Amino acid sequence: MASILSQSDVARLLAEPSPHVRAEVAGKLAQEIDSPRLTESELQMAEDIIRVMAKDVEVVVRKALSQSLRRASRLPRDVAIRLANDVEAVALPILTSSQVLSDEDLVEIVRRGSSVKQEAIASRPNVSEIVSDALITTASEKAVATLMTNATAHISDQSMNKVVDRFSDSDLVKESMIKRENLPVTVTERLVTIVSERLKDYLVSHHEMPPNVAADIILQGRERSIINITSNSNEEDVEKLVAQMYRNKRLTPSLVLRSLCMGDVVFFEAALAIMANVPLINARILIHDAGRKGLQSLYEKASLPPRLLPAVRVAIDVVHETELDGGARDLERYRARVIERVLTQFEDFGPEDLDYLLGKLGDVLTVAA
């Protein structure tokens, strides 16, 4: 054979009882088997030796073989399958890295293997949709969470919805899922209803979703109104959320207007500050400027659409006119007042914004009643 694995090595392999010597030979095999210098007869000899070593009674030998051959393109498939079905110490290098295993091989191991083996498969580069679906359908919580963190894994929309169905109670899986770079909109909307407030903020700031869903998420749980305009409560969190949304191009004009109409003045102020690139304290001064020029200059600097400026002015006027006593119905009364005023004095809405505000008006009037 070639220089790395010699005939003397083969002789030592057959005669040497020490597992450490056999493990050393296993390491040489990895370097040799993919060599273009091998003749057909030499390749056949290497494969025969590999098959013998894959049946070695010593785990240390089989482990060395698996580790050495995990990326070998000429590793015989039957040997790869044998090693992949071995004990975890032997199987994991092959399951994590070997491209010799087919999708069918991997699916079979997913169905019969331990959670640790499933996790190894979930971490493979470029996991196919077929293997992903098998993991999502049958694998452990940790394995599916690992798959969700695998940025190269290919996962169909249907499989993503299966994850929500199967792991709706698993914070580990849900958080791993939300941290993926891209999520189908339908999946994002479903996750909204089953994740914590912290993860809802992440969903809004990093993933695409309808503006009405985003606006509602921003308000849910905080219920900030003009009562706490001067309060520092949660302001740092709001600024972080707004900054994330702006970086990820999720801070839309429609969302900014809707949040103001629904009483989230703190969010509105932070949004204009970040979009206009001015400190929040300066933005507040300009927004609430009695001369009205300050709001216009800030609004224009934020590059928001001119057609929505009259509606923003109407909403800000209601903020200044409304005196709240901190009662249970304050927010509902404010929302009803601002939405009614915006709808009656400003007609230049897109149909989606109009439907949203009309729907919310009905909701808040029902609650107030």
In this predicted structure, what is the pLDDT of residue 6?
59
Q: How far apart are CA 36 and CA 336, in angstroms?
A: 77
Each of the 369 residues of the chain gets a pLDDT tens digit; together they read 444 555 666 666 656 667 777 777 776 766 678 777 877 887 887 888 888 888 888 898 899 889 989 998 889 999 999 999 999 999 999 999 999 999 999 999 999 989 999 999 999 999 999 999 999 999 999 999 999 999 999 999 999 999 999 998 898 999 899 888 888 877 877 887 777 666 777 777 777 766 666 666 665 544 443 334 434 446 777 888 788 788 878 788 888 887 887 778 888 999 999 999 999 999 999 998 877 789 999 999 999 988 888 888 888 888 888 766 555 666 777 778 877 877 777 666 666 666 667 676 666 555 544
- For the chain, the average pLDDT equals 81
In this predicted structure, what is the pLDDT of residue 277?
95
Phi and psi dihedrals of 30, rounded to 5? Answer: -60, -40
Q: Which residues contact 362 (CB under 8 A, 6 or more apart)?
A: none
In this predicted structure, what is the pLDDT of residue 199?
73
Quick check: helix, strand or coil at residue 73?
A: coil
pLDDT in tens, 266-323: 889 999 999 999 999 999 999 988 777 899 999 999 999 888 888 888 888 888 887 6
Q: How far apart are CA 57 and CA 43, in angstroms?
A: 24
In this predicted structure, what is the pLDDT of residue 215?
65
Are 324 and 226 in contact by the 8 Å Cβ rule? The answer is: yes
In this predicted structure, what is the pLDDT of residue 228?
42
In this predicted structure, what is the pLDDT of residue 182?
82
Task: Retrieve residue 329's tokens.
Answer: 């119905």
Are 60 and 20 in contact by the 8 Å Cβ rule? The answer is: yes
Residue of 345, 351, 337, 322 lying closest to 254 (CA atoms): 351
Task: Retrieve residue 190's tokens.
Answer: 């479903």
Q: What residues does each domain of the chain span?
A: 1-94, 224-368
Q: Give kind and range of the element (H or E) at residue 238.
A: helix 235-247
In this predicted structure, what is the pLDDT of residue 156?
94
Q: Which residues contact 42 (CB under 8 A, 6 or more apart)?
A: 1, 2
